[in-house]
Amino acid sequence: MSKFTRLTLLERVRDTTTGDSWQEFAEVYDALVMSWLRAHQVQSHDADDVRQEVMSAVMQQIGKFEHNGRPGAFRNWLRKITSNRLHRLWQKRGSRPDQAGPDLSELADQLADPSSPLTAAWDREHNRYIVEYLLDQIADRFSPQSMQVFERIVLDEEPAQQVADDMGMTLGAARVAQHRVLKALRAMGKGWID
């Protein structure tokens, strides 16, 4: 399943970087950027600095962002901003080898390269993060068992029969649970774009 950025949310954030729209945007993307930085062993204080600078840059530049229907346009724009902010941090602190954590310059270079394995990882992590955010938004509509069935079959790509057996369900019941959650997820994600 593809990850999305809700176009209407981007439009509202572009119109005003205050209020509920920015709050909703920041709730998703601030946490996403921080999660990605931590997953790639960027030191906590550096990750916090980069996250703040990324969100500040987004706030300042969102009015200039043009989606134009390009798949992954926002995700790529955010990735480039993150790469640039990693480069700035590396330049600001210098290339001191005594610093713990990854080589920020190398990390930024890989993130800037659209064909690098790190960029592919960025895309996968972005997509999974957004789906999980949407799932959190609909979770109270379903039993924990239905949510677990969906996550295992769709997100973890486990065989449906194995999941059904593990959960003490028939295959048909597992498929019904999977499809009900998927239907709600699609409805919640309507208006989100790749």
Domain boundaries, the chain: 5-137, 142-194
Read off φ and ψ for residue 151, nearest 5 degrees: -60, -40
CB of 33 within 8 A of CB of 25? no
Task: Specify the 3-state DSSP secondary structure of 192.
Answer: strand
- Tokens linked to 134: 């949407």
Interatomic CA distance for residues 107 and 117, integer angstroms: 11
Beta bridge partners of 6: 192
The predicted model scores a pTM of 0.76
The alpha helices in 62-159, defined as continuous H runs, are 73-93, 104-112, 117-138, 144-150
Task: Specify the 3-state DSSP secondary structure of 193.
Answer: strand
For range 67-75, the mean pLDDT: 80
CB of 116 within 8 A of CB of 147? no
Say what percent of the chain tops pLDDT 90.
46
- Whether pLDDT at 172 is above 60: yes
CATH 1.10.10.10 fits 142-194, yes or no: yes
- Stated as kind and residue range, the H or E segment containing 6 is strand 5-6
Beta bridge partners of 95: none
